[in-house]
Structure 1
């Protein structure tokens, strides 16, 4: 999946800021997807699978809100930094 080139290009082509909404994935939530979402300027990432510990750490470092499956349902793992 080429999230940064395909999605980033589609958003840029339409003049849409990735930070203006949320990215919703239908796949596993790994560190590489967190990094790619951060690269295009996303602020919120939502996925149906539990994130890896490394993905949570990377999202925290990038100031990316991470919402995914937790032990008791949807869980907010990290939050965006206040502006």
Structure 2
């Protein structure tokens, strides 16, 4: 499976990890454009953070924030509307 392109990720949509079955993880995007501090030793700050909530998986209901690039690499596809 291919990853989702960064420019195609949207607030309100749900994306899946692609592992399938009972191990599949799904996350709904809550907000984008957040400030993210990287742990790169340079204290790099980017405004590409994606806040999400896991809606299926071991941490269902938990929220997190990662960079848009990382979220796009994780996401293997968008969950069809009504299938969330």
TM range (shorter): under 0.3
Which structure carries more strand by proportion?
2
Structure with higher RCO (Cα < 8 A, 6+ apart): 2
Which structure carries more helix by proportion?
1
TM-score, length basis structure 1: 0.26
Answer with 1 or 2: which has the greater Rg.
2
TM-score, length basis structure 2: 0.26
